[in-house]
Amino acid sequence: MNTTDSIKGAPLPSIRRLPQYLQLLRQMQTKGRIAVSCTHLADDLGFTSTQVRKDLAVTGIIGKPKVGYITEELIASIENFLGWNNYSDAFLVGVGNMGNALLGYDDFRLHGLNIVAAFDANPEKIGKNVHNCEIFALDKMYELAERMHIQIGILTVPAAAAQSVASEMVLAGIRAIWNFSPIALEVPDSIIVENVRLYSSLAVLTSRLANTNK
């Protein structure tokens, strides 16, 4: 499940680029642009127009000859594919440095995500508000997840706690985990896990630099 490199035939690299298209298209829409061509999008984003056509086709939309795409339709098509036409409520567990940072992100709602409650194991944090989000004790997660029909859990606990908290998320009925810990989580196949591996990204940066310095 977590190792596939496509979703129903849509290649992951294309999906990963969709937020960039969406951001640009929203800017264009604000400026009153009604239609947009592949070439224009390609120029602005530094992609080829073949790539743009292929990426956007993933969402099910086909451009019209000479017109391109109707901006509004294209935005709706991307948002629909990503599940960002409505935002999904999410829980965040672990209000440390990264958890704090994510709670402060104003524009997650523009990207389909609404963090409705946070959880932490530290009794001193419980009951406090961080960026307008209340922090609850970890053992409240089950009850609240069920009552609020939460499907997405954001995991920002330290490495040592990551697996046990992930297992608790699964027991609480959470179906998709956005994992910011460096741990490879063991969860049932039906659970979606997306890992944000900061150290993997850093490894690419520093090995490139080490290679040019050699």
- Name the CA dihedral angle for 31, 34, 35, 40, rounded to a multiple of 10 degrees: -10
Piece of 13-21, 114-122, 139-147, 163-171 that binds a second copy (CB under 8 A): 13-21
Piece of 117-125, 141-149, 164-172, 199-207 that binds a second copy (CB under 8 A): 199-207
Piece of 34-42, 138-146, 162-170, 189-197 that binds a second copy (CB under 8 A): 189-197
Q: How far is the CB of 165 from a second copy (least distance, A)?
A: 17
Residue 148 touches a second copy, criterion: CB under 8 A: no
Euclidean distance between CA atoms 87 and 57, whole angstroms: 23
In the complex with a second copy, which residue's Cβ is closer, 46 or 65?
A: 46
Euclidean distance between CA atoms 113 and 123, whole angstroms: 27
| Helix 49-57, helix 71-82: angle, nearest 10 | 60
Residue 160 touches a second copy, criterion: CB under 8 A: no
Q: Which DSSP string do the residues of 5-60 spell out, in sequence order?
A: SEETTEEHHHHHHHHHHHHHHHHHHHTT--EE-HHHHHHHHT--HHHHHHHHHTTT
Q: How far is the CB of 211 from a second copy (least distance, A)?
A: 6
| Binding stretches for a second copy (CB under 8 A) | 7-8, 10, 12, 15-20, 23, 45-46, 81-84, 88, 96-98, 100-102, 104-105, 108, 111-113, 151-152, 175-176, 178, 182, 184, 186, 192, 194-213
